[in-house]
Amino acid sequence: MNMVQILQTSPLFAGTKEDEIAQLLCCLEGRTSDFARDRAIIEEGDHTDELGIVLKGRVHITRHDFWGNRSLVTEVAVGGSFAEALACTTQASEVSVVAAEQSTILFLNIHKVITSCARGCIFHHTLIENMVRLLSQRNLDLLKKIDHLTKRSTRDKLLSYLNSESKRQQSRTFTIPFDRQQLADYLCVERSAMSTELSRMQADGLVEYQRREFTLHHEEY
Amino acid sequence: MNMVQILQTSPLFAGTKEDEIAQLLCCLEGRTSDFARDRAIIEEGDHTDELGIVLKGRVHITRHDFWGNRSLVTEVAVGGSFAEALACTTQASEVSVVAAEQSTILFLNIHKVITSCARGCIFHHTLIENMVRLLSQRNLDLLKKIDHLTKRSTRDKLLSYLNSESKRQQSRTFTIPFDRQQLADYLCVERSAMSTELSRMQADGLVEYQRREFTLHHEEY
DNA sequence: GCATATATGTTGTTTTTCCAACAGGGTACA
DNA sequence: TGTACCCTGTTGGAAAAACAACATATATGC
């Protein structure tokens, strides 16, 4: 897939045709950059006025506390974007963005995105509307994550996450994008305790799994 | 304070003058409505295309799980808004909005907010930009909340919350908007365990408190 | 003031999670 | 093929949180 095709799948450019995207990209003056696995794209404390769109690979939004505990806020796959909210404010970032694998990122200046360009490019209005929709969606996603974290027990956190993942992939059998440590970081629990709980859940017939492949057996909730 | 003055303090109308707001309100065709304490403004499963702005009182964004466990996502005070993200999508709400006390709410149709009006009202563009900023800020707020929930122990959750509240009110001594049960619901911990931990923290000299009044003694982090 | 209701704090017990250490399986690569 | 490394699962003991029950304090209404 070339850049324009990827961008067509991106929420920010939803509803724009190929040639319109090309035209827009001129106005937006984006830049692309490659990152090796584990390389930081944005570090905690940084500020930026660019949002990023993943053209290749995938990135993790992470935090580290004083004691080095890592927490994985979310993963962004190809076509997804990050730092939109950060770029809209003047604050320093409280999270870092790390390439989870070899990745290519397109950076767009936020002001160019949300301000109509001098040339009066007619697709710009769509872009702003998409921006509102994108932020709204990100908002609901974060609410979803809060929903998982709200659960008091490791089992309920796992069920909450696995259910949402099952729903997202529209199948009872699905593959998660995290290894065990990352999943634990995402759900903010301890890895080995989580493994133990997964075993118990499998013994209870709630779920079957093998590495990253899961099948949910219980009713939705 | 009259409505226009309150709206001037609202992020959505930031940077617009009194007479401009009056003009905008005509275009937006808002409606106001009163809610008694504990009355639901939006219920889980509802959809709406209106965002709400609190003119009087305050509202709580809450969730209930299967077993009736309540969790308090966030509080919105006078001038604050809610349901912006919900109104921008077609999804059903996963949270409910409840009046924490006798409240007056101004409802605005989201489409009228983010679509330029027929009359070509020049302040409309500011409104859209404010909408982007508002969503971004809400985004960062949710990230902040995730930050609290990420902490593994009750003590760390409390410190994380109290620090952010102290910072927000720009003073080591401050009043929190929650009673103990609400605070526990907000931090997703058990009330009595939280009380016990607060006592320990006071004994350790980290914090002094009496009901809703807190004074932090330790260094920031 | 008194009775009642509500909010907060305390204590002891049970359950869950955390932690550390290790074991087994898979994979990469010399 | 064998070795080293990483990922996953397991175990037992330590720590923390949840829970239940009660004690104390504060607020509310009569």
Give the pLDDT band (50/70/90) at residue B70.
confident
Total domain count, chain B: 2
Rounded distance between C-alpha atoms, residue A57 and residue A66, angstroms: 29
Boundaries of domain holding A43: 3-147
Structural element, H or E, at residue B27: helix B18-28
B9 in contact with A, Cβ within 8 Å: no
Classify residue B41: in a domain, yes or no: yes
Classify residue B200: in a domain, yes or no: yes
User: What CATH code is carried by the domain that includes residue B62?
Assistant: 2.60.120.10
Classify residue A56: in a domain, yes or no: yes
CA dihedral sign of residues A57, A63, A66, A69: negative
Rounded distance between C-alpha atoms, residue A73 and residue A186, angstroms: 6
Which of the nucleotides lies closest to A203 (Cα–C1')? D9
CB contact under 8 A, A145 and B146: yes
What confidence score (pLDDT) does residue B129 get? 85
What mean pLDDT is predicted for residues B99-118? Answer: 86
What mean pLDDT is predicted for residues A148-173? Answer: 92
Which of the nucleotides lies closest to B203 (Cα–C1')? C9
What confidence score (pLDDT) does residue A67 get? 66
Classify residue A91: in a domain, yes or no: yes
| Same domain assignment for residues B34 and B59 | yes
B149 touches strand D (CB under 7 A): no
The pair of three-digit structure tokens given for residue A58, joined into one six-digit string: 């995938």
Classify residue B16: in a domain, yes or no: yes
pLDDT at A220 exceeding the cut of 50 = no
Q: State the Cα angle at B172 between B167 and B178, rounded to 5°.
A: 75
From the candidates B136, B157, B161, B190, which should be mutated to test the interface with A, based on the most A CB atoms within 10 A? B136
> Domain boundary at B119, B147, B175, which?
B147
| Same domain assignment for residues A105 and A178 | no
Q: State the Cα angle at B206 between B169 and B156, rounded to 5°.
A: 80
3-state secondary structure chain A: CCHHHHHHHCHHHCCCCHHHHHHHHHHHCCEEEEECCCCEEECCCCCCCEEEEEEECCEEEEEECCCCCEEEEEEECCCCEECHHHHHCCCCCCCEEEECCCEEEEEEEHHHHHCCCCCCCCCHHHHHHHHHHHHHHHHHHHHHHHHHHHCCCHHHHHHHHHHHHHHHCCCCEEECCCCHHHHHHHHCCCHHHHHHHHHHHHHCCCEEEECCEEEECCCCC
Strand order of the β-sheet with A59-64 is: A40-42, A96-99, A59-64, A70-76
Give the pLDDT band (50/70/90) at residue A21.
confident
Instruction: Write out which nucleotides of chain C lie closer than 7 A to a protein Cβ.
Output: 7-12, 16-21
pLDDT by residue (tens digit) across B163-184? 999 999 999 999 999 999 999 9
Classify residue B188: in a domain, yes or no: yes
B154 touches strand D (CB under 7 A): yes
What confidence score (pLDDT) does residue A125 get? 78
Rounded distance between C-alpha atoms, residue A88 and residue A112, angstroms: 11
pLDDT at B65 exceeding the cut of 90 = no
Rounded distance between C-alpha atoms, residue A41 and residue A58, angstroms: 11
Rounded distance between C-alpha atoms, residue A42 and residue B173, angstroms: 34
How far apart are the CA of B21 and the nearest CA of chain A, in angstroms?
Answer: 21
Q: State the Cα angle at A144 between A102 and B127, rounded to 5°.
A: 90
Worst-scoring range by mean pLDDT, A119-123, B11-15, B193-197?
Answer: A119-123
Worst-scoring range by mean pLDDT, A52-61, A71-80, B24-33, B205-214?
Answer: B24-33
Q: Which residue from B194, B209, B129, B131 is spatially nearest to B157, judged by alpha carbons? A: B194
| Same domain assignment for residues A20 and A78 | yes
The pair of three-digit structure tokens given for residue B168, joined into one six-digit string: 């927000």
| Same domain assignment for residues A86 and A136 | yes
Question: Are A97 and A61 in contact, with CB atoms under 8 Å apart?
Answer: yes
A101 touches strand D (CB under 7 A): no
Q: What are phi and psi of A129, to 5 degrees?
A: -60, -40
Instruction: Name the closest residue on chain B to residue A139, using Cα atoms.
Output: B139
What confidence score (pLDDT) does residue B221 get? 44
Chain A positions touching B147 (Cβ under 8 A) are 63, 94
Worst-scoring range by mean pLDDT, A43-57, A180-194, B14-28?
Answer: B14-28
pLDDT at B74 exceeding the cut of 70 = yes
The pair of three-digit structure tokens given for residue A22, joined into one six-digit string: 């090309």
What mean pLDDT is predicted for residues B81-97? Answer: 93
What confidence score (pLDDT) does residue A183 get? 95
Q: Bigger pLDDT: A58 or A126?
A: A58
CB contact under 8 A, B91 and A140: yes
Instruction: Name the closest residue on chain A to residue B91, using Cα atoms.
Output: A140
| Same domain assignment for residues B126 and B176 | no
What confidence score (pLDDT) does residue A49 get? 93
pLDDT at A8 exceeding the cut of 80 = yes
pLDDT at B157 exceeding the cut of 80 = yes
CB contact under 8 A, A136 and B131: no
CB contact under 8 A, A149 and B188: yes
Which of A105-119, B18-32, B66-80, B133-147 has the highest mean predicted lDDT (pLDDT)?
B133-147
Classify residue A221: in a domain, yes or no: no
Rounded distance between C-alpha atoms, residue B130 and residue B22, angstroms: 17
Strand partners, A33: A105
From the candidates A67, A142, A160, which should be mutated to test the interface with B, based on the most B CB atoms within 10 A? A142
| Same domain assignment for residues A136 and A168 | no
pLDDT at B54 exceeding the cut of 90 = yes
pLDDT at B206 exceeding the cut of 50 = yes
> Domain boundary at A100, A117, A147, which?
A147
CB contact under 8 A, A152 and B188: yes
pLDDT by residue (tens digit) across A36-77? 888 899 999 999 999 999 999 999 999 887 666 788 999 999
pLDDT at A82 exceeding the cut of 60 = yes
| Same domain assignment for residues A28 and A130 | yes
A175 touches strand D (CB under 7 A): no
Rounded distance between C-alpha atoms, residue A216 and residue A116, angstroms: 47
| Same domain assignment for residues A121 and A176 | no
Cα A11 to its chain centre, rounded Å, is 12
B192 touches strand D (CB under 7 A): yes
Which residues bind near strand C, taking a CB cut-off of 7 Å? A 153-155, 188-190, 192-194, 197; B 152, 179-181, 191-192, 195-196, 198-199, 209, 211-212
> Domain boundary at A88, A115, A147, which?
A147
How far apart are the CA of A150 and the nearest CA of chain B, in angstroms?
Answer: 6
| Same domain assignment for residues A33 and A101 | yes
Could you tell me what percent of chain A has a pLDDT over 90?
Answer: 67
Classify residue B221: in a domain, yes or no: no
CB contact under 8 A, A135 and B133: no
pLDDT at B121 exceeding the cut of 70 = no
User: What CATH code is carried by the domain that includes residue A172?
Assistant: 1.10.10.10
Hey, what long-range contacts does B28-31 have (CB within 8 A, 24 or more apart)?
A: B28/B108, B28/B109, B28/B112, B28/B113, B29/B109, B29/B112, B30/B106, B30/B107, B30/B108, B30/B109, B31/B106, B31/B107
| Same domain assignment for residues A21 and A102 | yes
| Same domain assignment for residues A15 and A100 | yes
A193 in contact with B, Cβ within 8 Å: no
The pair of three-digit structure tokens given for residue B117, joined into one six-digit string: 């009006």
pLDDT at A221 exceeding the cut of 60 = no
| Same domain assignment for residues A24 and A126 | yes
3-state secondary structure A160-203: HHHHHHHHHCCCCEEECCCCHHHHHHHHCCCHHHHHHHHHHHHH
